[in-house]
Structure 1
């Protein structure tokens, strides 16, 4: 890497270091991740089958391309804190986390009995069960060395949204908030970090439901956020880390004087004006954040991109500004050999957000990172399904990680009556072999390496060509 590129990347890391100071001075809830961190997200089905952690990683991959992180999905569907306890050593601590992020409460608080005869008795019992289990988890966490602990209050159960043929469990979320309360107190007493998803997402739901009673971030079952909901979660998490107001890059140019007014988190060279046209070289220290427009997952209705209609992620965290003063007329913007669009001199004087322009070479580059990350997520999900089988089925039978003929014979005795087990039978028939698991892990490792290669910003040639009248 040349001196020019090195200076730009060092500028990017200076921004990150300043964020660490900001976290302390404005009491942000979660410190930013550091180079080399191994971030483990422990949770239930919302973590297991969800994308919020992948969306958070994508932010770091595009915003801090020289930073080498690893993030791990360690969720299992249906888990309560007492279930997580059983797999701490084999499934969680084995990932050697430098940051361990834990969320629970949706399953801990129970379901159907809230509409029964003694809902308050049931709620008290479930909250106590969760609290007692958590105190055991807390003891284990206190023994961890060189691991930063973050507790996350669960996303809410939305009992207010209008969903056809779905009767809500009354006051379930009230019990969930009691679980959030003891998480908060534990974090405070232990000097750990804490952030509550429940309150801000409940507030967003209530605000939008004033106009649309069917709106919810909590998904079509009141429990599981859709892709847009997971992007809202990622946005809230990143905001808690202090990233609001931190853009991709800002370029400001005075075309009349052919000079750079501003170059934030980027380098700008060779500003030239030929007639009414302008050109320059541009190297940012980051990439724009790409937004997936596909509704991914079984039963999904919304894409990641749909979150921009809910939270101001683009305005607060995804600004790649090009501002050019001293022009007249209308201009076609070219980056490398790609025509991006046409803007007036007035638009350029105010500044345009290139992160909104999916045709830019840098956005297309960021899309490669997004798709590699999505492929990594898909393969990692196989390991989560395997973990479900191991800890929910084999562990109670004394066959945890047996992975032998007896194990699959025992499995086959139950698949006819257990639909969840039946759905994972084929996967286990493959994953029981260490060679298959090693091949999957090699794929993940290769995808991670490629993400850290593809995300390196490239110097771009920018041209503004005046349109003829």
Structure 2
């Protein structure tokens, strides 16, 4: 890629993710829900779509139960480093899910598991539905209403629950590149909703778009996200690192993960 073209691409990628900038005042709030060093037996639950699913197993085989993506990387690291805490990890991501799908299965796949830490990454399939003009497409306002509902139900079930909300992301690769303006525009709207809800529910916000924007200055986008939507092994590792870094601000024994 010529230097001038590469600069233009990186500028457009930065602009596409600028809506997701995390304001310092949101990060410095003094009264956050936190877990201490002594907290044991915590239950971590990852929810979302195919990025979270990671082709996870659908049985109790511990070799595949967390899938093969960022959720696996996060869980494997914490479980190995803090074995004495008897932590429990679940992955309930399902490929193709939209926020409406999460809402339908929330009771069985989330509330029934009684998580202490609930991590959610959703939104890319909601954007795809709009672009594909699906009858199931929802507006940003509807997306917000449904997302707020599942968060409220979760917080009601466990007032001390730590919520971790990931900002959805895309990069201009493959079919996404062919319709980049619409993909990035619709995604920014959902990202703004997630950021708003993170503030409303005192959630940890994980800014994946900024992580990938920075990474694409080192290596071309396809190295990190092979089709514009799904991360490669390198991309999932970046997600896991950022997740641990941000959640470490709320769970004291995770503070060792500083990248």
RMSD between aligned residues: 3.4
| Aligned partner of 1:105 among 115, 123, 135 | 123
**Which residue in 1 is equivalent to 2:104?**
86
- TM-score of the two chains, using structure 2 as the length reference: 0.68
The Cα of 1:176 is off from its aligned counterpart by 1.7
The Cα of 1:46 is off from its aligned counterpart by 0.6
Contact 1:30–1:150, Cα closer than 8 Å, also in 2: no
Q: How many angstroms apart in 1 are the aligned matches of 2:176 and 2:41?
A: 48
The Cα of 1:175 is off from its aligned counterpart by 1.9
1:43 to 2:48 alignment: yes
Q: How many angstroms apart in 1 are the aligned matches of 2:95 and 2:175?
A: 25
**Greater shift in the superposed pair: 79-88 or 178-187:** 178-187
Distance 1:110 1:41, change over 3 A: same
Structure 2 SS opposite 1:97: coil
Q: How many angstroms apart in 2 are the aligned matches of 1:174 and 1:246?
A: 36
Contact 2:52–2:94, Cα closer than 8 Å, also in 1: yes
Contact 1:43–1:102, Cα closer than 8 Å, also in 2: yes
Q: How many angstroms apart in 2 are the aligned matches of 1:42 and 1:58?
A: 17
The Cα of 1:202 is off from its aligned counterpart by 2.6
Counterparts of 1:220-259 in structure 2, within 5 Å, are: 221-240=227-246, 241-242=248-249, 246=256
The Cα of 1:83 is off from its aligned counterpart by 0.8
- TM-score of the two chains, using structure 1 as the length reference: 0.40
| Aligned partner of 2:194 among 183, 193, 196 | 183
Deviations 1:47-84, CA, capped at 9 Å, x for gaps: 11142111112221232232211110010111111110
Distance 1:216 1:182, change over 3 A: same
Structure 1: gaps spanning 5 or more residues: 1-23, 117-121, 248-315, 318-469
**Which residue in 1 is equivalent to 2:3?**
none
| Aligned partner of 1:152 among 148, 153, 165 | 165
**Which residue in 2 is equivalent to 1:139?**
152
**Which residue in 1 is equivalent to 2:203?**
192
Q: How many angstroms apart in 1 are the aligned matches of 2:130 and 2:199?
A: 32
Q: Which has the higher contact order (CA 8 A, sep 6+)?
A: 2
Contact 2:163–2:203, Cα closer than 8 Å, also in 1: yes
Runs of 4+ deviating beyond 6 Å: 24-27
Distance 1:113 1:51, change over 3 A: closer
The Cα of 1:150 is off from its aligned counterpart by 1.7
1:128 to 2:141 alignment: yes
Contact 1:41–1:53, Cα closer than 8 Å, also in 2: yes
The Cα of 1:156 is off from its aligned counterpart by 1.3
Distance 1:93 1:165, change over 3 A: closer
